[in-house]
Structures are given as structure tokens and as C-alpha cells.
A and B are shown apart, each in its own frame.
Chain A
Amino acid sequence: DTAVSQTPKYLVTQMGNDKSIKCEQNLGHDTMYWYKQDSKKFLKIMFSYNNKELIINETVPNRFSPKSPDKAHLNLHINSLELGDSAVYFCASSLSGGETQYFGPGTRLLVL
């Protein structure tokens, strides 16, 4: 059973397009996250939701919009994609803030 899943695993698209990445967890966790891993492998928090409520919104362009339809899902929508958005995006979940976070397999986004 997959604990945290993301779709798609790979995404290749043109500049200016809009795309979404979906994340689902079946661990019964209350808190979900989006992280971005850049080309130098540095991981940085983008967003965090607790019980469908946005609790962390780091300095991320407005083109990125998270949506949490329920506690088990956290999607990431990106408008007007730019070359600099190319990265690996990880979804994660935890029982609550501060607890161990479990990661999805990552989505490698390439903007051409």
C-alpha cells in the first residue's frame, strides 16, 4: 500500500502553461506539505495544511496555489509556468505539526 502518492511522477511542459500536481495520503494524517527541491538538491518548504487549513505559506510566487479538498489530499496548481519552476516537488504528510513527515515519490517538473 502506498502511503503518500503523487501524480504525475514526471511532467514536461512549455513555458506559460498551467499544470497541477496531485497528492494523496492514506495514513490518516492531519497535516500535509509541499516542498521544492532545486537543481542543487536543496529542499525548501512551500506550503503546509493542517486539517484543510493553510498554516504555512512561504515566499512563493502567487502563480503557485495549493488546494486541499479534504485531509487526505493536497494538490498544487501552477499558473504561467516559468523556466525557473523546473524542480522536483515533494508532497509529505505527518500526524500533526512536529511529527515525522513521510514523503511521496516526488514529481519532476521540467519547463521548456
Chain B
Amino acid sequence: AQTVTQSQPEMSVQEAETVTLSCTYDTSESDYYLFWYKQPPSRQMILVIRQEAYKQQNATENRFSVNFQKAAKSFSLKISDSQLGDAAMYFCAFVAKYALNFGKGTSLLVTP
């Protein structure tokens, strides 16, 4: 079975600060991809960042970066210089062949 676990249902961060969202996954596949998606109140699912499992280098997209630890099956998301617009539900997801397997999400609150 392929599972994704997000152990933090809610997180809070002050504007301009840094926050890290945790994610672990379980799979027997050797070739797979990991993603973080953001879902603001508008409910649109927005891709934040993607990581190929075969790449050792951690992915980075502007203020967003990941810490990918393949042996530990860990894939955390770091948001630097947090902005009010970062407030949303964040989903960690994994795909080996076709379907995305999602975690239950972490609700991120950004305070001024």
C-alpha cells in the first residue's frame, strides 16, 4: 500500500518568518514523484513544487524548498519569508504510475 502522512493538521507562522511542513510516505516503488499542492479558500489546487525521486538535489521554487530524504521517506516543505497569501491547505502527494496519493493536508495560518 502507498500512503502519505502529514502529521500536522494545522500550523501557524508570522509574516516574513519561515515554516516547515512535514510529510512522510510509504512505497515499495523505486521510481516515483513527490509534490506539494496548495489549496486556498478558492479551492483551486495549485502546484507548489515537485521532486523526482531519482534526483538527490532538493527542489526549489522561489521561497519554497523541500528537504527530500529518500531513505527516510520524508519530504518536508519549507516556506521562507511567509506572506499572507501563503495561507492555505497544503497537501503532500506521491505518484508512482498514475494516481496521486494525497496526505490529509496541513492548514497553514499566516498572521500579520
Q: Does B25 contact A (CB under 8 A)?
A: no
> How many cross-chain pairs have Cβ atoms below 8 Å apart between A and B?
58
Q: A45's contact among B33, B91, B99, by CB below 8 Å, is which?
A: B99
Q: Is there contact, CB below 8 Å, between A106 and B44? A: yes
- Choice from B32, B33, B45 contacting A90 with Cβ under 8 Å: B45
Q: Chain A residues near B91 (CB, 8 Å)?
A: 43
Shortest CB-to-CB span from A88 to chain B, Å, is 6
Q: Is the CB of A103 within 8 A of B104?
A: no
A98 with B98: CB separation less than 8 A: yes
A77 interface hit (Cβ, 8 Å): no
Within 8 A of A (CB), among B47-64: 47, 50
Pick the contact of B104: A41, A55, A90, A92 (CB < 8 A): A41
When the two chains form their complex, are residues A98 and B104 in contact, meaning their CB atoms are under 8 A apart? no
Contacting residue for A100 out of B35, B89, B98, B105, CB 8 A: B35
B96 cross-chain contacts in A, Cβ below 8 A = 98
Find chain A residues with CB under 8 A from B43 CB.
Answer: 88, 105-106, 108
Interface centre among A40, A43, A92, A103 (most CB of B within 10 A): A43
The answer to whether A41 and B105 touch (CB under 8 A), given A33-B99, A50-B98, A101-B100, is yes
Closest Cβ neighbor of A31 among chain B residues: B98
C-beta contact mask, B27-41 vs A, less than 8 Å → 1, else 0?
000011101010100
**From residue 90 to 112 of chain A, which have CB atoms closer than 8 A to chain B?**
90, 92, 97-103, 105-106, 108
The reply on B102 being an interface residue by CB < 8 A is yes
Given known A-B contacts A41-B105, A106-B43, A98 and B99 have beta carbons under 8 A apart? no
Q: List 19 A-B residue pairs with CB atoms under 8 Å apart, sorted by A's residue number.
A: A31-B98, A33-B98, A41-B39, A41-B105, A42-B104, A48-B98, A48-B99, A55-B98, A56-B99, A58-B99, A97-B98, A98-B32, A98-B95, A100-B50, A102-B47, A103-B37, A103-B45, A105-B44, A106-B44
Q: Interface residues, chain A, CB within 8 Å of chain B?
A: 31, 33, 35, 40-45, 48, 50, 55-56, 58, 88, 90, 92, 97-103, 105-106, 108
